[in-house]
Chain A
């Protein structure tokens, strides 16, 4: 293909190539299959051509924003990680992906976005530091609200308030799900033998953030860490498939405090030189005044986020948000 497809996903952090599970799934799948993608690690969903992340910009089919559809698209382009699987293994893939989506993902969202301590001290901190200036004041809160609403709809009203029930039923289910995955993996390198398949991309993308994030309230995390084979599985995928991401973007992922922005940003620049021009033109770089102390973490005015260039970012990702903050 002459022009490679472009993938937009959330920036990396916490020692991961991307902090968002969905983006991470697509990235991992692309790495597994060796699909030639031009990866834009952006720091705001408004920079994505579809207003969502992840998004794959293709030549013939426009922009695709759903994880599953992106993977299907890559598969159609002959980048198929499941090529060698038998039909039964394909069925198993579908079943375990369902298990992840039903049992683990909602609890994961709860851990990162709803659990008060984790959200305030970890998730919101990272997003507020990463998202460029005016947006960082409200985007994290919007995302929080969206996630809360989603979980409320999925679980019903009773669960969100009742801590005990939450812990007793949903977290127990999630821990059980982790245990089941660990049992299924056993001592294998990947779920279906020695080569990675799409299931591995999904499992890795759900587990890695949980493993790598330094959560103040790590109930679920502790359980994952007690399952040694899953931990080894994640670290081996990270070192095999994302050696330079971890290395270049985060020189000391394990020792550095969470998100030390200036360093990170400079490194990111090297990786994304071709956006420099576009970024320079973007008002984010030139305009923002110093925010008055609102308790929001420091905003680096010199921070230039890689943008998608010509495709402007004036998209209202959050339905009700006004467009005033974005350049047209």
Chain B
């Protein structure tokens, strides 16, 4: 890697002053940067009834704002129409959780009224799905597209925030407006059980890979300009990020005992009342640990995991070199994915700084994060003074 000292690269970066841990940062164990975050607008109530957490006996704590949203760059034009359509559509994508299918028509997400005949329904639904997909592909990107994720302040975890940020960055790069909606039960709303997912027209798509394909079907693609070898390399590096950074984040938040106790369990269970918060958190922890065992990470120590992260960052740093983006001048989905993960790692306060220190060793990567943030996320921060406070809060977190 080019031996750039962080302070050399970062002076222009207002977000990364070498501050000591601020009191605010110490107080909150895992505070996440309110990226492109507008305060909830009381004049425009959320048209949807807020879905309850499916397994909770009572709804989440009432102190939380009903819906935080990020305004897209393009001015949202037609909320009334959106509201009307959604209210006709019924409960929205929130309530049932068929696992699996990455892209399902939103209609399928509603609790089915009369039971569908399974056998006939399958062939029918295949045809219908293909038809709907075609229809959806033909439709332009709607103004009321929404991205769902967990509550930003109290609930979302490192890995989910990284994935969500990657999708937001990708859609921003495609210049597609999307509204960020925070829901305590986002995980249970998602068709694949993974966060984030987007609700576009009558389709619900989760995770970056399927979203990229979905957006491509609508005629927006970031990687069309690449030749075949570059495309292969791009896919390979995306897998590298998923394989190493994402797994390391999961390891840290579910297998490192200190982090689990101090951050993961309180945050993960925050929307639920007492016995449930522990039960759900332990259930999830058990699931992730089994997964780690299956991929051979269970026996690793924290040092080894950090070593892997370092190796991954080194590879990314090498690949990036001095270019503005991974493949020359144009951003691709790889840039979005890398940005999502690195930015989240850099700006999240964990029990120790070891993880973010690993990334900060690579000057070109931090500069890369800074650049993408400025270009794609700061534009609409300026037009609203309400974000001043969250942004300064973030500054204290970025050290």
| Residues of A bordering B, CB below 8 Å | 66, 87-88, 90-92, 94-96, 98-99, 101-103, 149-150, 153-154, 156-159, 162, 165, 169, 176-177, 180-181, 183-184, 186
Contact = CB atoms under 8 A, between A and B. Distances in A.
B332 to A, nearest CB: 14
Interface in B84-122: 99-102
B315 interface: yes
- What are the 8 closest A-B residue pairs judged by CB atoms, nearest first? A158-B100, A91-B315, A180-B232, A153-B294, A95-B236, A98-B243, A98-B240, A91-B318
Q: Chain A's interface: helix, strand, loop or mixed, by majority?
A: helix
B294 A95 contact: no
B81 interface: no
Contacts of A176: 235
A95 B318 contact: no
Given A90-B318, A99-B236, A154-B291, 16 more contacts: A88-B318, A91-B318, A95-B233, A95-B236, A95-B237, A95-B239, A95-B315, A98-B240, A99-B239, A102-B239, A153-B294, A154-B294, A162-B100, A165-B101, A183-B228, A183-B232
9 contacts: A91-B316, A92-B233, A92-B319, A95-B237, A103-B239, A149-B294, A153-B290, A156-B99, A180-B236
Q: Chain B's interface: helix, strand, loop or mixed, by majority?
A: helix
Contacts of A66: 296
B229 A184 contact: yes
Interface of B: 99-102, 192-193, 228-229, 231-233, 235-237, 239-240, 242-244, 290-291, 293-296, 311-312, 314-316, 318-319, 321
Contact of A94 (B99, B228, B311): B311
Given A66-B296, A91-B319, A98-B243, A159 B235 contact: no
B233 A102 contact: no
A158 B290 contact: no
A153 B232 contact: no
B294 A92 contact: no
Contact of B232 (A94, A101, A169, A184): A184
A103 B236 CA distance: 10
A162 to B, nearest CB: 7
A98 B239 CA distance: 6
Best-surrounded residue of B290, B316, B318 (most CB of chain A within 10 A): B318
B9 to A, nearest CB: 19
Nearest to A67: B296
B187 to A, nearest CB: 13
Nearest to A186: B229
Contacts of B101: 165
Contacts of B242: 98, 102
A154 B236 contact: no
Given A91-B316, A99-B235, A169 B102 contact: yes
Contacts of A162: 100
Contacts of B229: 183-184, 186
